[in-house]
Chains A and B, each alone.
Chain A
Amino acid sequence: SQKIEQNSEALNIQEGKTATLTCNYTNYSPAYLQWYRQDPGRGPVFLLLIRENEKEKRKERLKVTFDTTLKQSLFHITASQPADSATYLCALDPSTGFQKLVFGTGTRLLVSP
């Protein structure tokens, strides 16, 4: 069956450290993968998109990698801050002809001062 999985346990780290979140998928061949940030009671906000032919994408303190062999994407936040505390969702395009993103369950990140 098709699955997209993120660690359901919250990730607790100290301010200034690098946070690394994982997104694994099974039985998909996505053309691209996206990462979103969601705060409690709010809608997700787009952060980064990485295509299947790109290994790495950066935006300020954010970095995303995409390994189509391992069927995995890693999302890194360097020099993390308490304001980075949120739930991070990965989403992939299942390449069904029209974009109908499939979302993971999200991983909650807690950054302590």
Chain B
Amino acid sequence: DGGITQSPKYLFRKEGQNVTLSCEQNLNHDAMYWYRQDPGQGLRLIYYSQIVNDFQKGDIAEGYSVSREKKESFPLTVTSAQKNPTAFYLCASSMGVGATNEKLFFGSGTQLSVL
């Protein structure tokens, strides 16, 4: 089945620790995104990538880093600089620039909590 796989489902971070959230897609999509969801707030864009080996900051990139070495993979690292990391993290993909129907396909999310 085609789709987006996020892992792990639940993740706990200790003070001063970096953690990495995995996102893999087999939809052959060019564009990938990371969103953060907090209770009572809309999804906020952290980083996005239009193509392999390229990515841009979204609205709340501070304290996060990403890489896009392969088309199907877009891991997100939550660094120790992110002081309020507790949230539900969603990875998404879309066909990319030039497509006429730019709906997003989402993974099932990772809930990150601080110990």
The answer on a CB contact under 8 Å between A106 and B109 is no
- B47-65: which have CB < 8 Å to A? 48, 50, 58
A14 to B97, CA, bound (A): 42
Question: Is A10 on the interface with B (CB-CB < 8 A)?
Answer: no
Residues of B in contact, count (CB < 8 Å): 27
Q: What number of A residues sit within 8 Å (CB to CB) of B? A: 23
Chain B CB within 8 A of A86 CB:
no
Q: How far is the CA of A44 from the CA of B42 in the complex (A)?
A: 12
For the complex, what is the distance from the CA of A46 to the CA of B41, rounded to whole Å? 19
Residues of the A chain whose Cβ atoms lie less than 8 Å from the Cβ of B92: 43
A31 to chain B minimum Cβ distance, whole angstroms, is 10
Q: Is B31 within 8 A of A4, CB to CB?
A: no
* Among B58, B94, B105, B108, contact of A99 (Cβ-Cβ < 8 Å): B94
**Besides A98-B50, A103-B43, 7 other A-B contacts (C-beta < 8 A):** A41-B111, A43-B4, A44-B90, A44-B106, A49-B103, A100-B45, A100-B48
